[in-house]
Amino acid sequence: MDQSVTAEGIEQAITQFVSGRVKAEVPADEDLFASGLVSSMFAMELVVHLEQAFSVQILGDDLKRDNFRTVQAMTALVARLRGVEQPADA
């Protein structure tokens, strides 16, 4: 991502990636694990994708499942790691 990174842009990029991989529309608040859309193998792909796409390192406590449960959770994680300001309603 070369352009200025915003929480909205992060969410759009993650939604596009996940939707493309599962070949279905994925609401930002959908529990990807409970819905069966994400396997443990795909969860690892998500970690690698987020690290590469957003130039972040996801280590230690950040590797917990709750950070990858929804597109919103992944957006919040990436935004926090990048120091991106999030909307007040996030």
The count of domains in the chain is 1
Q: Tell whether 67 is covered by a domain.
A: yes
Cα separations (Å) of 65 from 19, 27, 38, 58, 90? 19, 18, 11, 12, 19
Q: Tell whether 87 is covered by a domain.
A: no
Residue 90's pLDDT band, with cuts at 50, 70 and 90, is: very low
Q: Tell whether 39 is covered by a domain.
A: yes
Listed range (35-39, 50-54, 82-86) with the worst mean pLDDT: 82-86
User: At 46, is the secondary structure helix, strand, or coil?
Assistant: helix
Cα(32)–Cα(71) distance, integer angstroms:
8
Q: Tell whether 89 is covered by a domain.
A: no
Q: Tell whether 19 is covered by a domain.
A: yes
Q: Tell whether 88 is covered by a domain.
A: no
Range of the domain at 37: 7-82
Q: Tell whether 54 is covered by a domain.
A: yes
User: What is the mean pLDDT of the segment spanning 54-76?
Assistant: 95
The pTM (predicted TM-score) of the whole model is 0.88
Residue 87's pLDDT band, with cuts at 50, 70 and 90, is: low
CATH code where residue 21 lies: 1.10.1200.10
